[in-house]
Chains A and B, each alone.
Chain A
Amino acid sequence: DAKTTQPPSMDCAEGRAANLPCNHSTISGNEYVYWYRQIHSQGPQYIIHGLKNNETNEMASLIITEDRKSSTLILPHATLRDTAVYYCIVRPLETGANNLFFGTGTRLTVIP
């Protein structure tokens, strides 16, 4: 069942930061926020995940609000190759279903 809400589409100028929001107001204390993306019909690509602290890796940053009801994925300098559908997924790690539920995501278009 969908536990996240994302805008269906966004545009971003090449070289600018892309900020992709996600609402997960019913998130439980043991659920992590995961971000994946899918370029064309390729396999989903893992980007980043977090529990309550902000996280950064070589691909992106994840900002989670203090109440954990929403988060933002930040691509600091978007390139044309970042054009993809981005999925925000909440899931427990230790218990419960281990499958990923993909919603419809946000289609990010990076414009030259």
Chain B
Amino acid sequence: EPEVTQTPSHQVTQMGQEVILRCVPISNHLYFYWYRQILGQKVEFLVSFYNNEISEKSEIFDDQFSVERPDGSNFTLKIRSTKLEDSAMYFCASSRDRGTQYFGPGTRLLVL
């Protein structure tokens, strides 16, 4: 059964550094998403991406964040200058249409 994959599984970085989180969505899916979950809190929507552009974004997704689909398989989330409060689990998801979203295992980001 096809799955969403994410790399790395864990990332430790210093405050102010740039990080890129990578995702490989399910191959025939057209919609891509990033969510995050701060430890002990709810899963929060960050951004959705369709047809090579952002279709929706939340208030969390400010100018420090960007997304890209650099090739036909990867979908990335970049945080330009990490802050302590960016420490969280980041989940990528994909869907074939506007229906069911399938999530990856997540990347645990720790900003020191």
* Interface positions of A (Cβ within 8 A of B): 34, 38, 41-46, 49, 87, 93-94, 97-104
Contacts and interface: CB of A to CB of B under 8 A. Distances in A.
B103 A44 contact: yes
Contact residues of A: prevailing secondary structure = loop
Given A98-B55, A98-B98, A45 B103 contact: yes
B56 A44 contact: no
Interface of B: 4, 31, 33, 35, 37, 42-45, 48, 55-56, 58, 89, 91, 93, 98-106, 108
Contacts of A98: 31, 48, 55-56, 98
A59 to B, nearest CB: 13
Nearest to A49: B100
Nearest to B99: A93
A46 B3 CA distance: 12
B58 A99 contact: yes
Contact of B45 (A38, A49, A99, A104): A99
30 contacts: A34-B100, A38-B43, A41-B106, A41-B108, A42-B106, A43-B4, A44-B91, A44-B103, A46-B101, A49-B99, A87-B43, A93-B99, A98-B31, A98-B48, A98-B55, A98-B56, A99-B33, A99-B45, A99-B48, A99-B56, A99-B58, A100-B35, A100-B43, A100-B45, A101-B45, A102-B35, A102-B42, A102-B43, A103-B42, A104-B42
